[in-house]
Structure 1
């Protein structure tokens, strides 16, 4: 299954590279280096996560949306031959791309140290939110295995990484972000396919993941002030990459002395 991670990274690289080449050939080039708006707060950026949040929250009490959850689960069960644990790996693929693609020649918006800070902030916001909601919502999983279904942590992790891919590489090619979001959506689908989450769990997880990353970019100018130059040098000498196999998931950290 680990090969799926490499496959999705390849999709990100190839699709983004093809789009960039096409744009250059059409002479459609914009100079975004003059003004950095990455960390600017704009209300319109909240529309998508707000819609997903609203759907997830309303679905906790709405009988019609609960019925939609059940109908979606029943429809998927009719076509499930066997469970596929691909979502245990694809949840990390977008975040892995944030750190791997620059090593393949794709220029990111921020250096390694800055990306590490942003990713760490995003993960802290996302994981805290997911954990709190799981503990207070007490929604039973579709397979009846536990009562911490809402929201989907796998989906939140995937969309957190997908939004970061978009933010870091959108000036190189928008297709890096499109590909990452496709992988994230696939992760959410397989959480339902494997009967581990309801549709509303996945929607809420996606909203949390997107918003967590947006918040981390908006907060970055202030958070970066907490790190002095020596700490930044330490971070820039580090290589961080997710690792997963059938027995464990981890993050590997390599440091160059």
Structure 2
């Protein structure tokens, strides 16, 4: 069973950064042509789909159960996973204020982060509210997906997009923290393995969409004279609609995107 956990760590620490490499999906500033790469959605989509398949009986569900049994949770907790989700985001801002410039200045970083965070939070909350999957500890039915993992991977991808082009070690560091968070959520008996897979996918996808949508939203709201061209090779048009969603005394924002 240990080989499954080792494989998970190896994939997260080495394959993820090498898939992305030192090149970001996006331009160096808001006025550069922005080409949305559909292939960049393959990894997060795969993770989310794999996590979803693990909700019911099947190979992924069996693997999740096997991983929990191998860890033999005894009630002891490692609470550091409650603080790790902030590391990637804090690192990006810390580097910025230390004079180590990333792709965007702190104002535009914040704009990207708000869009990414809104998508991530809404996705996690809506899914939790509509899928009653019980936690491995049996204490609640809000296990899928892992919100802590989603937030940490969102921060890891945020750090990668801002500073991964400078050194791949920023990407490796961010994703190492995210991987550790996912593992600890399983170790602390808070989530199943498939919950963590889906959370990782949502986190990565949220940041990618944040970097893509933010320049578009900025142009619409502030009507920038130097608008961003969203694709340097395509003349396709995009339609974006936003609408509030009210559920269980919560106010969320839904987005409709037409290609």
Q: What secondary structure is seen at the aligned counterpart in 2 of 1:86? A: helix
Structure 1 match to 2:61: 66
Higher helix share: 1
Matched length = 198
1:14-44 CA distance string (max 9 Å, x none): xxxxxxxxxxxxxxxxxx8699878421122
> Is it true that 1:176 corresponds to 2:170 in the alignment?
yes
> Is it true that 1:101 corresponds to 2:95 in the alignment?
yes
1:66-112 CA distance string (max 9 Å, x none): 2211111111126x683101100001111111211112232110011
Structure 1 residues 88 and 227, CA, compared in 2 at 3 Å: closer, same or farther?
A: farther
Structure 1 match to 2:51: 56
1:94 touches 1:165 (CA, 8 Å); kept in 2? yes
Match of 2:123 among 109, 118, 129: 129
2:96 touches 2:105 (CA, 8 Å); kept in 1? no
194-203 or 47-56: bigger deviation: 47-56
| Distance in 2 between residues matched to 1:138 and 1:223, nearest whole Å | 34
> Is it true that 1:115 corresponds to 2:115 in the alignment?
no
Kindly state the Cα deviation for residue 167 of structure 1 after the two structures are TM-superposed.
Answer: 0.4
Structure 1 residues 202 and 38, CA, compared in 2 at 3 Å: closer, same or farther?
A: farther
- Structure 2 unaligned runs (5+)? 1-26, 225-259
| Distance in 1 between residues matched to 2:116 and 2:28, nearest whole Å | 24
1:153 touches 1:205 (CA, 8 Å); kept in 2? yes
Structure 1 residues 184 and 34, CA, compared in 2 at 3 Å: closer, same or farther?
A: closer
Deviant stretches of 4+, over 3 Å? 32-39
Kindly state the Cα deviation for residue 47 of structure 1 after the two structures are TM-superposed.
Answer: 1.4
Kindly state the Cα deviation for residue 63 of structure 1 after the two structures are TM-superposed.
Answer: 2.6
Structure 2 match to 1:138: 132
Kindly state the Cα deviation for residue 228 of structure 1 after the two structures are TM-superposed.
Answer: 7.0
Aligned-residue CA RMSD in angstroms?
2.3
- Structure 1 unaligned runs (5+)? 1-31, 230-257
Structure 1 residues 44 and 145, CA, compared in 2 at 3 Å: closer, same or farther?
A: same
**Aligned residue runs from structure 1 range 229-244, under 5 A:** none
Structure 2 match to 1:87: 81
Q: What secondary structure is seen at the aligned counterpart in 1 of 2:135? A: coil
